[in-house]
Amino acid sequence: MDLQVGDVVQMKKAHPCGSDQWLILRRGMDFRIRCQGCEREVWLARPKFEKMIKKVLYQVPRDLEEE
């Protein structure tokens, strides 16, 4: 999955605050994400995080590859 810092994803289950949209703050073996409803931050392991994603709502523009 090609996810970058700054992308916003929609999760399969909503956070207790009611929001299901999360901003990616850090990526690697673990992901740090922030709820867009209440600003709570959570750390998740990569396999669990990728399994919980429903869809990518917003992607930060990627630099064009030079040929």
For residue 67, pLDDT beyond 90: no
Q: How far apart are CA 15 and CA 51, in angstroms?
A: 16
For residue 56, pLDDT beyond 70: yes
For residue 65, pLDDT beyond 70: no
Q: What torsion do the CA atoms of 7, 16, 48, 5 make, to the nearest 10 degrees?
A: 20
Q: How far apart are CA 28 and CA 36, in angstroms?
A: 21
Is the distance from CB of 57 to CB of 21 less than 8 angstroms? yes
Residue 34: band (very low, low, confident or very high) from pLDDT cuts 50, 70, 90: very high
Contacts of 62 (CB under 8 A, 6+ apart): 4
